[in-house]
Amino acid sequence: MLHVGLLYTKMETSNKNMEELNPHGAIQMNVTVKAIEKALFSKGHKVTLFPATFDLLQRISRIKDLDVIFNACTGITNKRQQANVVAMLELQHIPFVGSSLSTQILGLHKQISKRLFRSANIPTPQFQVFYTGEEEIEKHLRYPLIVKPEHEGSSLGISNDSVVFNEDSLKKKVKEIIGIFDQPALVEEFVSGREFTVGVLGNDDPEVLPILEILYDDKNKDGLMTVDIKAKDAVGIVCPAEIDVEIAEKIRDYAKRAYKALGCNEYARIDVRLDENNIPNFIEINTLPGMQPNYSDFPRMAKVAGYTYEDLIDKMVRLAIEKSRVDNEKKEEFYVGATS
């Protein structure tokens, strides 16, 4: 039996503006936390729940004999604090589920993760980041373009007018995103082909889960995942995706490379779209994907791979402990070698 601390976002402290933009977020968080707790109990583990607050370090220090922390926290008041929470966890020297501080930062800053994709020879759409909305548009960009917040997930900021076809519409949308979300706007060439998401599970030799395809209806011919469509679950899914073997192999290969390029641990989920030449373009990586059973894409893909929800949660906990053990052994070897 392990003593697992289950860390979650306390909705009472969340940003009210973000709640209005993503009204289903609180419900999904509550359902997910209860499901993870139930899964851990089913495996015989002791579970202590605690919310992420600004006195998190003191809260953790008061909990005795923690073996591992399951980090289900997307921030204290907003998603941009997701990495700050991980920073506090790293100060505790207790194993925790999820990627390190550096990886969380790289994943949250979409422009950086896209540059890392390119460094690993992974195709990704051309892009530009706008900080004020007054920047000159780079000449390499080709319309149509999609405008979205640089640091958000769950389709926040994506609406029917997010895809733009001219400079006036682009500048208007960029200023709107900067104003609403108080962060830079990411503008990238819109890839309108088939859309997939792929989960990766593990550490040094990660497993790529079965690829999931997202299906849009005829009214949404370009396949735009707006926040309203996501909230209403107005898409279909197929997993495993019915896809050409060579394309599937490319996606799996690129997914492993992306996972390692960002230094991911335990799990991550990556969004992919095919361009007009059927080349998989990696759009972004989610280093803390949703884990709501029978709803979130990651547990859905894991289920097709043969994992029950309970087995998946237990495996992630044990991967975190194993990662911590290996890291500590490497540190000991380094210090022994440095002093000998």
Residue 112 lies inside a defined structural domain of this protein: yes
Residue 13: the pLDDT is 47
More confident call, 269 vs 93:
269
Report yes or no: 316 and 267 within 8 Å, Cβ to Cβ.
yes
- Domain match, 113 and 259 both: yes
Distance CA 306, CA 239 (A): 12
Final residue of a structural domain among 245, 267, 287: 287
Q: How far is CA 71 from CA 5, 28, 111, in A?
A: 8, 15, 25
Confidence grade of residue 215 (pLDDT, cut at 50, 70, 90): very high
Give the pair of three-digit tokens for residue 159.
């609406």
Q: Are 72 and 6 spatial neighbours (Cβ–Cβ below 8 Å)? A: yes
d(CA 230, CA 216): 11
Same domain, 239 and 179: no
In DSSP terms, which residues pair with 49 in a beta bridge? 6
| Residues 153 and 222 occupy one common structural domain | no
Same domain, 176 and 218: no
Structure token pair of residue 232: 């209403």
- Looking at 189, 215, 234, which one is the last position of a domain? 189
Closest CA to 265 of 69, 74, 98: 98
Count of domains observed in the chain? 3
Q: What's the CATH code of the domain at 136?
A: 3.30.1490.20
Indicate whether 265 belongs to any domain: yes
* pLDDT, tens only, 137-188: 999 999 999 999 988 766 787 888 899 999 999 999 999 999 998 899 999 9
Q: Which of 189, 208, 231 is the last residue of a domain?
A: 189
| Statement to judge: residues 78 and 8 lie in one domain | yes
Residues 201 and 275 in one domain: yes
Share of the chain above pLDDT 70, in %: 86
User: Do 78 and 114 fall within a single domain?
Assistant: no
Residues 112 and 55 grouped into a single domain: no
Give domain status of residue 315, yes or no.
no
Instruction: Judge if pTM exceeds 0.85.
Output: yes
- When pLDDT is averaged across residues 3-27 and rounded to a whole number, the result is 66
- Give the domain extent around 262: 106-123+192-287
Q: What is the DSSP letter of 65?
A: T
> Average pLDDT for residues 39-56, to the nearest whole number?
93
Bridging pattern class, strands 207-208 and 163-164: unpaired
Are the beta carbons of 34 and 308 closer than 8 angstroms? no
For residues 26 and 92, membership in a common domain is answered with: yes
